[in-house]
Amino acid sequence: MDEEQKSILLKTSSRFPIPPGVKFSYGTAGFRADALVLESTVYRAGILAALRSIKTRSVIGLMITASHNKISDNGVKIADPSGGMLTQAWEPFADALANATDSDCLLQLIIEFAKEESILIDGHCRAEVLLGRDTRPSGESLLEAAKQGINSIVGSAAIDMGILTTPQLHWMVRARNKGMKASERDYFEQLSSSFRYLMNLVPGECKVKGTDYKLVVDGANGVGGEKLECLMNMLDGLVIEVRNTGKGGGILNEGVGADYVQKEKVVPQEFGSNDIGMRCASLDGDADRLVYFIVPSVSSNNIMLVDGDKMLSLFALFIKEQLSILYKGVDENNPYQARFGVVQTAYANGASTDFLKELGLEVVLTPTGVKFLHEKAVEYDIGIYFEANGHGTILFSDSFLCWLEKRQNELSSMSEGSEPQKAALRLLAVSKLVNQAVGDAFSGLLLAEAILQTLSWSINQWSELYQDLPSRQLKVKVMDRTAVVTANAETVVVKPPGIQEAINAETVKYPRGRSFIRPSGTEDVIRVYAEASTQEGADSLAHSVGKLVEQFLE
């Protein structure tokens, strides 16, 4: 690193001193905190993104969002060349950068890390970082901080893509690195054209009519609402009404959005008695999560939730069906046996896991956080992962898609319009509709809609795939959440000693009882999850386990 580069880094970093007394950690989904303390972190994340771009010789993404968290929070996360999350191998460097006490420490860290990783910072390597942000008011100044971080590595270009959903930015990074067209328009084109393709394959007698035709979407007063309005103008065969677009004065994520609806299981704002029985859906603040719901009656505020597990179940059922139709037409001597797997976390409702296993599917659990689920799902030819909160996607391997293209061509020359050919076309369309970079509420929504029409199902039929076990989630504030250490995909606590035995002793008191605790990666709390055969049981188990957390961690 030459003297000029060093002096640029020293000069720009001195404008972004770290706030006293805050420790930053690149958690489940990047850095998140109150927006007021984030400038230095975002500036430093900009430096990291530029270095990552030089290292990988690829375009990198930097997204400013705090997703479903409150409007005064914000956050930053990095998208790797594949469009997926930043490699976990660089997270310790991210943490060290964010917490470096002054400009000299920061410079030293960068010099050492660049040496270790053989990153040549000489002004000749061109780094390119795409920037996006959600609708939070703090986003604008934080984006400036990110730009300054990127530009402080000589030869780097920061390209502001404007206000975007998180999955849009990840999609663009992936598309750019694959040499494909990567504008917002291209994103909308790909989603709407593959949706049209799937809808054209809906059997004529299945088209859903009447009230079922319309979908009402809660946009969480965030970026998803306004983007969905753009997308829906390009769709045929689906009527969407978007509420909580943020234009009507509602506050981001306050009493609205996928996280609220899934965790509280109540009707979001702007929804009520006029919507009874309608097919409704909720996006989160950056539109990477989606849940469906029904308002069952006027008498209570409760909803009937169709969560990420049920979305996963619908998708798995559909894909399994298409694969079996497809294989009927395959030459027995030369079948491509696609490895099909499903990935969940411990938060998945026990009834969903039973359902998927009964379907004969391979189900694996990983720790919470899509980076873990994604990493597992890529091991399959078709890997579906979803968190119960509605964040997930379906990944297709290149080799399977290549075989499928070939097979589709053979089938079309043999018997155009046959059921196996249609199954191949459907699977190909799904692989284009579903964001291959990260979970995307828009992909999920369009796929769910197309499948419901293909099967001629109402949301009630979907919801009845299986009966959720009653569950309850709680948060417990503790002095030090890192005191809780878990194992086996977070299903067992290994520290503090004795607490797991105490949780077990509580759990056995409840029929179908299951409970676990883990430190949140995005909030300063311990999360408690419990399920049981009755809601009272789940509530009481969660409550008792919450008490144990207080006792063991005080």
Residues annotated within the binding site for Mg(2+) are 67, 284, 286, 288
Query: Using CA of residue 19, residue 25, residue 28, residue 29, what is the dihedral sign?
Result: positive
Question: Residue type for 532, please?
Answer: A
Q: Is 65 in the site for ligand GN1 (CB under 6 A)?
A: no
> Of residues 41, 67, 82, 177, which one binds Mg ion by CB under 5 A?
67
Q: Which stretch binds Mg ion (CB under 5 A): 33-41, 61-69, 348-356, 412-420?
A: 61-69
C-alpha 211/C-alpha 491 separation (Å) is 42
Q: Is 523 in the site for ligand GN1 (CB under 6 A)?
A: yes
C-alpha 119/C-alpha 5 separation (Å) is 14
Cα 534 from chain centroid (whole Å): 29
**Following DSSP, what letter does each residue of 232-249 receive, concatenated?**
HTT-SS-EEEEE--STTS
Residue 394 CB coordination number (10 Å): 26
Cα 436 from chain centroid (whole Å): 12
Choose among 230, 280, 236: nearest CA to 258.
Answer: 280
Q: Which stretch binds ligand GN1 (CB under 6 A): 76-84, 122-130, 193-201, 383-391?
A: 383-391
DSSP code, position 451 = H
Q: What is the number of residues in the chain?
A: 554
Binding residues: 67, 284, 286, 288, 387-389, 518-522, 527
Give the shortest CB-176-to-ligand GN1 separation in angstroms. 24
Q: Cite the active site residues.
A: 67
**Following DSSP, what letter does each residue of 38-69 receive, concatenated?**
-HHHHHHHHHHHHHHHHHHTSEEEEEE--TTS
Q: Is 471 in the site for ligand GN1 (CB under 6 A)?
A: no
**HSE value, Cβ hemisphere, 13 Å, CA-based, for 169:** 31
> Of residues 284, 375, 440, 531, which one binds Mg ion by CB under 5 A?
284
**Residue placing its CB nearer to ligand GN1 in the complex, 214 or 263:** 263
Q: Which stretch binds ligand GN1 (CB under 6 A): 9-17, 74-82, 331-339, 518-526?
A: 518-526
Q: Is 160 exposed, middle or buried (0-12, 13-18, 19+ CB in 10 A)?
A: middle
Per the CB < 8 A criterion, the answer to whether 532 and 513 are in contact is yes
Number of residues that bind Mg ion (CB under 5 A): 4
**Residue placing its CB nearer to Mg ion in the complex, 174 or 289:** 289
Bond before 268 cis per omega within 30 degrees: no
**Residue placing its CB nearer to ligand GN1 in the complex, 397 or 520:** 520
Structure tokens given for 54: 């030089």
Q: Is 506 in the site for Mg ion (CB under 5 A)?
A: no
Residue 286's binding partner out of ligand GN1, Mg ion, none, with CB under 5 to 8 Å set by partner kind = Mg ion
Q: Which stretch binds ligand GN1 (CB under 6 A): 214-222, 248-256, 365-373, 543-551?
A: 365-373
Give the shortest CB-73-to-Mg ion separation in angstroms. 12
**Residue placing its CB nearer to ligand GN1 in the complex, 351 or 388:** 388
Per-residue contact string for residues 236-265; x = within reach of ligand GN1 by CB under 6 A: ------------------------------
Q: Is 80 in the site for ligand GN1 (CB under 6 A)?
A: no
**Following DSSP, what letter does each residue of 277-303 receive, concatenated?**
T-EEEEE-TTSS-EEEEEB--SS-SB-
Per the CB < 8 A criterion, the answer to whether 515 and 474 are in contact is no
Q: Is 46 in the site for ligand GN1 (CB under 6 A)?
A: no
Structure tokens given for 236: 């045929």
Q: Is 91 in the site for ligand GN1 (CB under 6 A)?
A: no
Number of residues that bind ligand GN1 (CB under 6 A): 15
Q: Is 387 in the site for ligand GN1 (CB under 6 A)?
A: yes
C-alpha 240/C-alpha 219 separation (Å) is 12
Residue 411 phi/psi, 5-degree rounding, is -65, -35
Q: Is 389 in the site for ligand GN1 (CB under 6 A)?
A: yes
**HSE value, Cβ hemisphere, 13 Å, CA-based, for 11:** 10
Q: Is 542 in the site for ligand GN1 (CB under 6 A)?
A: no
Q: Is 344 in the site for ligand GN1 (CB under 6 A)?
A: no
Residue 389's binding partner out of ligand GN1, Mg ion, none, with CB under 5 to 8 Å set by partner kind = ligand GN1
Residue 443's binding partner out of ligand GN1, Mg ion, none, with CB under 5 to 8 Å set by partner kind = none
> Of residues 286, 468, 490, 506, which one binds Mg ion by CB under 5 A?
286
Residue 417 CB coordination number (10 Å): 9
Query: Scanning the structure block, which residue is given the tokens 């990074």?
Result: 173
Q: Is 288 in the site for Mg ion (CB under 5 A)?
A: yes
Give the shortest CB-466-to-ligand GN1 separation in angstroms. 21
Binding residues for substrate: 387-389, 518-522, 527
Give me the residues paired with residue 363 across strands. Answer: 342
SS3 label, residue 44: helix
Q: Is 531 in the site for ligand GN1 (CB under 6 A)?
A: no
Q: Is 527 in the site for ligand GN1 (CB under 6 A)?
A: yes
SS3 label, residue 271: coil
**Residue placing its CB nearer to Mg ion in the complex, 196 or 391:** 391
Contact positions with ligand GN1 (CB under 6 A) in 19-38: 28-29
Q: Is 375 in the site for Mg ion (CB under 5 A)?
A: no
Q: Which stretch binds ligand GN1 (CB under 6 A): 17-25, 74-82, 160-168, 386-394?
A: 386-394
Choose among 443, 488, 517, 453: nearest CA to 194.
Answer: 443
SS3 label, residue 17: coil
Per the CB < 8 A criterion, the answer to whether 471 and 529 are in contact is yes
Give the shortest CB-8-to-ligand GN1 separation in angstroms. 34
Q: Is 53 in the site for ligand GN1 (CB under 6 A)?
A: no
Question: Residue type for 280, please?
Answer: C
Residue 165's binding partner out of ligand GN1, Mg ion, none, with CB under 5 to 8 Å set by partner kind = none
Give the shortest CB-475-to-ligand GN1 separation in angstroms. 9
- Rule CB under 6 A: which residues touch ligand GN1? 28-29, 67, 347, 368-370, 387, 389, 391, 520-523, 527
- Rule CB under 5 A: which residues touch Mg ion? 67, 284, 286, 288
